[in-house]
C-alpha cells in the first residue's frame, strides 16, 4: 500500500465523516436524500398533483390503449419508438468512450429502420445485436457529474437536476424534433403526438407495478423517491461494466446496531 | 506514520477482510438461493394447484427462506430501539403478513422466467454475502437480482433482495422511518396502517 493511496483513503473517510457530522442529528444512514424541508413540501405537492393526473387521465388512456391493442402490437409500437431514439444512444455511447456499444446501436438503427420496417420489428436482436440504451443523463453520470437532490417535475415525475438537463438535451437531439424543426407547424404537432404516445406506452407498461406499490405503501412518495434514487446509482461514475451491485456501498451499515 | 506501521495497518486490514469473507460459504449460499428459487418456480408458479394452495405454499417458503425478524429490525431503523417488545412483535407480524400477501399475488407474473446465477460478491457485514443473478426479459437486457444472504451456523437466510439496484429493505426502511417521523402515533401508527393494508388486500382477494 503506498502513501498516496493511504492519504486518499483518509481523505475519503474524512469526507464521509464530515458529511455525517453535517447532516441532521436524526437523519438515517440509509436516507440517500439531501432534500431540505422546503424542497420536500414542493415535491410532495407536485407528486400529489402528478398522481391525480396519472389516475384520472393518463391511466384511463393507457388502459384504453391496452384494451384495443394486442401485446405484439404494443411491442411493435415500443420497438419503433425505441428505434427513433437509437441514434441518441449511439452518440452517448461514443461520449462515454464505449465504441463497441456505439457501433452496435448504430448497426441496430440501420438494420431495424430498413429490414425492420421503420423499427416495427427488432430484427437486429435476432442477429445477436441486443438492445442497450443510454442517454445524456448516463453520460453525465459516467463523467462523475453530481446528481443533485430529488425533484418532482410537473407531469413527468421523478427527476434530479442532472436527469432534467439530460432529458432536455435528449429532447433537442431527438430525431423527431430536429427532423421536423424547419416547419414550426409540423414540428409542434409531431412533437406533441410523439410525447403523448411515449407517455401512454410508458404508463401502460408500468401502471400495474405503480398501482401495486401505491396500494402497499404507507408513504408512497418516499417509496418512489427511495427506489428512484437507488436505481440511479446503477449508472455509477465508473466504467460501464463493473457496476454490478451499487447497494453494496451501503454495506457497512447493514448490521443491526 | 512510518513504513512499518503502514504495512502493519495494510496487513491487518487484509486479514480482517479475509476473515469477513471466510465466514460465509459462498458456494453453499448460492446453492441455497438457487434452491429457494427452484422450489418457488417448480412447486408454486408452475404447479397445477388451486390458488389457495399456492398461497399456503408461498407463505411457507417465504417464512423459511427469509429472516423476517432480522429484516424487520433493519427496516424499523432507530425506531426499533424505542419500540416496546409488544410493538416489535406486532410490527414483525404485520410486516410479514403484508409481504406474504403482496408477493404471492405478484408471483404469477414470473411464469416462464428463470434465474441465471452469476456467482457471489463479498459483503462487509458480518456473516453476509451477495448472491448475484439475472432474469432474462422478453426484450433487451436481463434484469439484475441480487440476494443478500446471511449465514447462521449451517443455516442460510435471505435478508434482502435487490432488484435493478433497488433494495427492498432499504426502500422499506426509508418509507417506514419517514412515515413514523410524520405520524403522531409513531410506531403504533405504522403498525395500524400496515394491518389495515393487509386487510384491504385480503378483501380484494376473496
The backbone torsions φ and ψ at residue B131, rounded to the nearest 5 degrees and listed phi first, read -105, 120
Contact A109, A90 (CB under 8 A): yes
Please indicate if any CB of chain A lies within 8 Å of the CB of B200.
yes
B142: chain A residues, CB-CB within 8 Å: none
| Cβ–Cβ below 8 Å for B171 and A247 | no
| Cβ–Cβ below 8 Å for B139 and A216 | no
Residue A66: CB partners within 8 Å, gap ≥ 6?
A: A74, A204
| Cβ–Cβ below 8 Å for A226 and B175 | yes
Contact A81, A197 (CB under 8 A): yes
CB atoms within 10 A of CB B36: 20
* Confidence band for A5, pLDDT divided at 50, 70 and 90: very low
Question: Which ipTM score applies to this complex?
Answer: 0.81
CA atoms within 13 A on the CB side of B108: 9
Here the contacts of B139-144 (C-beta below 8 Å, separation 24 or greater) are B139/A75, B139/A122, B139/A125, B139/A131, B140/A130, B140/A131, B140/A132, B140/A133, B141/A130, B141/A131, B141/A132, B142/B116, B144/A244, B144/A245
**Residue range B78-92, pLDDT digits in tens:** 899 999 999 999 999
Q: Which among A130, A219, A244 is the nearest to B175, CB-wise?
A: A219
Angle (CA) B168 A30 B174, round 5°: 55
Please indicate if any CB of chain A lies within 8 Å of the CB of B162.
yes
- State whether residue B146 is helix, strand or coil: strand
- State whether residue A131 is helix, strand or coil: coil
A216: chain B residues, CB-CB within 8 Å: 98, 102, 197, 201
How many Å lie between the alpha carbon of B39 and the closest alpha carbon of chain A?
24
Q: Is B129 left (phi over 0), alpha (psi -120 to 50) or beta?
A: beta
Residue B116: CB partners within 8 Å, gap ≥ 6?
A: B133, B134, B135, B136, B142
Angle (CA) A34 B189 A227, round 5°: 35
Contact B80, B180 (CB under 8 A): no
- Most B CBs within 10 A among A78, A133, A222, A233, hence the mutation to make, goes to A222
**Residue range A228-241, pLDDT digits in tens:** 999 888 887 764 44
Least confident segment among A124-128, A143-147, B95-99: A124-128
* Confidence band for A245, pLDDT divided at 50, 70 and 90: low
In the β-sheet with B143-152, what is the strand arrangement from edge to edge?
A: B116-122, B128-135, B143-152, B155-163, B166-167
| Cβ–Cβ below 8 Å for A218 and B175 | yes
CA A219/CA A222 separation, integer angstroms: 6
Per-residue pLDDT at A16 exceeds 80: no
Grid-cell match 430525431, residue found: A175
| Cβ–Cβ below 8 Å for B197 and A30 | no
Please give the share of chain B, as a percent, with pLDDT higher than 90: 47
Query: What average pLDDT does range B65-79 have in this prediction?
Result: 92
User: What predicted TM-score, i.e. pTM, was given to this entire model?
Assistant: 0.81
Query: What average pLDDT does range A54-69 have in this prediction?
Result: 94
Angle (CA) B13 B19 B20, round 5°: 90
How many Å lie between the alpha carbon of A171 and the closest alpha carbon of chain B?
22
Per-residue pLDDT at A203 exceeds 90: yes
Query: Residue B89 corresponds to which cell in the numbers above?
Result: 412483535
* Confidence band for B32, pLDDT divided at 50, 70 and 90: very high
CB atoms within 10 A of CB B97: 18
B9: chain A residues, CB-CB within 8 Å: 1, 6
Least confident segment among A14-28, A191-205, B96-110: A14-28
**Residue range B168-192, pLDDT digits in tens:** 999 999 999 999 998 888 899 999 9
Contact residues of A toward B, CB < 8 A: 1, 3, 6, 26, 28, 30-32, 75, 122, 125, 130-133, 212, 215-219, 222-223, 225-227, 230-231, 233-234, 244-248, 250-252, 254-257
| Cβ–Cβ below 8 Å for A251 and B121 | no
A222: chain B residues, CB-CB within 8 Å: 174-175, 178-179
CA B58/CA B43 separation, integer angstroms: 9
Give the CA distances from residue B132 to residues A47, B31, B40, B71, B74, in Å, rounded to whole numbers and listed in that order.
34, 12, 18, 19, 21
B141: chain A residues, CB-CB within 8 Å: 130-132
What is the pLDDT at residue A33?
57
A256: chain B residues, CB-CB within 8 Å: 70, 73-74, 80
Helix H segments across A173-246? Answer: 175-180, 184-216, 220-232
Sign of the dihedral defined by the CA atoms of residues A213, A218, A221, A224, in that order? negative
List the 90-129 stretch of B: residues with Cβ below 8 A of A: 98, 102, 106, 121, 123-126, 128
How many Å lie between the alpha carbon of B158 and the closest alpha carbon of chain A?
13
* Confidence band for B47, pLDDT divided at 50, 70 and 90: confident
B78: chain A residues, CB-CB within 8 Å: 26, 28
Amino acid at each position: 500500500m503506498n502513501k498516496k493511496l493511504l492519504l486518499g483513503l483518509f481523505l475519503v473517510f474524512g469526507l464521509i465523516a464530515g458529511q455525517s457530522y453535517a447532516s441532521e442529528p436524526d437523519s438515517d444512514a440509509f436516507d440517500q436524500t439531501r432534500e431540505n424541508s422546503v424542497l420536500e413540501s414542493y415535491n410532495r405537492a407536485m407528486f400529489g398533483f402528478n398522481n391525480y393526473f396519472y389516475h384520472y387521465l393518463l391511466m384511463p388512456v393507457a388502459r384504453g390503449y391496452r384494451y384495443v391493442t394486442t401485446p405484439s402490437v404494443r411491442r411493435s409500437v415500443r420497438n419503433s419508438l425505441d428505434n427513433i431514439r437509437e441514434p441518441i444512444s449511439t452518440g452517448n455511447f461514443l461520449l462515454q468512450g464505449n465504441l463497441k456499444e456505439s457501433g452496435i446501436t448504430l448497426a441496430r438503427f440501420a438494420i431495424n429502420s430498413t429490414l425492420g420496417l421503420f423499427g416495427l420489428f427488432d430484427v437486429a436482436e435476432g442477429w445477436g445485436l441486443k438492445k442497450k440504451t443510454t442517454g445524456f443523463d448516463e453520460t453525465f453520470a459516467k463523467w462523475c457529474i453530481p446528481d443533485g437532490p430529488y425533484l418532482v417535475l410537473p407531469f413527468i415525475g421523478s427527476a434530479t437536476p442532472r436527469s432534467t438537463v439530460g432529458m432536455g438535451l435528449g429532447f433537442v437531439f431527438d430525431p423527431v424534433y430536429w427532423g421536423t424543426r424547419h416547419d414550426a407547424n409540423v414540428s409542434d404537432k409531431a412533437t406533441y403526438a410523439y410525447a403523448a404516445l411515449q407517455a401512454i406506452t410508458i404508463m401502460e407498461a408500468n401502471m400495474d407495478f405503480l398501482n401495486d406499490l401505491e396500494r402497499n405503501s404507507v408513504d408512497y412518495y418516499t417509496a418512489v423517491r427511495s427506489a428512484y434514487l437507488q436505481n440511479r446509482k446503477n449508472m455509477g461514475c465508473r466504467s460501464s461494466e463493473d457496476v454490478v451491485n451499487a447497494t453494496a456501498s451501503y454495506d457497512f451499515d447493514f448490521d443491526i446496531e | 506514520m512510518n513504513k512499518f506501521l503502514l504495512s502493519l495497518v495494510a496487513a491487518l486490514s487484509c486479514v480482517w477482510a479475509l476473515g469477513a469473507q471466510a465466514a460465509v460459504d459462498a458456494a453453499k449460499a448460492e446453492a441455497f438461493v438457487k434452491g429457494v428459487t427452484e422450489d418457488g418456480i417448480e412447486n408454486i408458479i408452475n404447479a397445477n394447484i388451486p390458488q389457495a394452495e399456492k398461497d399456503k405454499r408461498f407463505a411457507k417458503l417465504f417464512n423459511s427462506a427469509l429472516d423476517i425478524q432480522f429484516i424487520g429490525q433493519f427496516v424499523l431503523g432507530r425506531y426499533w430501539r424505542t419500540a416496546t417488545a409488544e410493538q416489535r412483535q406486532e410490527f414483525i407480524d404485520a410486516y410479514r403478513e403484508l409481504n406474504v400477501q403482496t408477493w404471492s399475488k405478484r408471483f404469477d407474473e414470473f411464469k416462464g422466467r428463470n434465474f441465471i446465477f452469476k456467482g457471489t460478491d463479498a459483503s462487509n457485514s458480518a456473516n453476509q454475502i451477495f448472491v448475484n443473478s439475472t432474469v432474462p426479459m422478453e426484450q433487451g437486457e436481463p434484469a439484475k437480482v441480487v440476494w443478500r444472504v446471511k449465514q447462521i451456523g449451517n443455516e442460510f437466510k435471505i435478508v434482502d433482495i435487490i432488484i435493478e439496484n433497488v433494495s427492498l429493505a432499504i426502500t422499506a426502511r426509508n418509507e417506514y422511518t419517514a412515515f413514523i417521523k410524520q405520524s403522531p402515533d409513531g410506531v403504533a401508527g405504522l403498525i395500524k396502517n400496515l394491518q389495515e393494508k393487509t386487510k384491504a388486500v385480503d378483501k380484494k382477494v376473496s
